[in-house]
Amino acid sequence: MFVRVPLLVQLVFKRRIWRGEDKNTVHLTFDDGPDPDTTPWVLGLLKKENVKATFFCIGKNIEENPLIFKQIIDHGHAIGNHTYNHEKGTESKTADYLKSIQRTDDLHVADLFRPPYGRAKFGQVNRILLLGKQIIMWTWNSQDYKKEIGPDEIVKNANKITGRDILLFHNSAKSNLSMQESLPRVIEIVKQKGLKFSVL
């Protein structure tokens, strides 16, 4: 998995949104929450740093953590659909995949959608776009879920961040320690570059 997604990949899958439009802005995103052990810490840091982010939430986690989900919204962050059970589209029947998206929309309607693992079939993409959703990907991946990649390496890779980038972090138990150690430093680097944070 690349830290930076190659331009060729972005061109091949051009119906998905890979970058923002403002060269002076980056977009911080989080997948897989809300999580009771991780999300409150993230919200506290973002409030302290005056940063708004976009949270791609799993429907099951919304149901299990409704108060934390409400806090995300109350703090002024944007919400995206990330399916109900974090299904991999390429291993799911299209009808089941769409039901998972709808089940999450029944909890909170979102115009933004991010396929778990970044994987979805051609037909699934067609149907998702017909629902009026934007399929949001990323250009810079922290890879905070990988044990072999420590916080220092994530911070080092943050030097490659440029304007219009969509940054991918996770607010989940699996990535919690690495994310907590690296995220404050990544935010500092982005600010030092003179870039602003904005929701999608």
Residue 89 · residue 120 · CB < 8 Å: yes
Q: Distance of CA 24 to CAs 8, 21, 87, 110, 186, Å? A: 23, 9, 34, 26, 16
Q: Distance of CA 117 to CAs 13, 41, 138, Å? A: 14, 24, 11
Residue 79: strand pairing partners: 55
Q: Is 75 a catalytic residue?
A: no
The rounded distance, in Å, linking the Cα atoms of 129 and 162 is: 28
Q: Is 82 a catalytic residue?
A: no
Q: Which candidate in 31, 32, 144, 165 is catalytic?
A: 31
Hey, CA dihedral for 40, 46, 50, 55, is it positive or negative? negative
Catalytic residue IDs: 31, 170
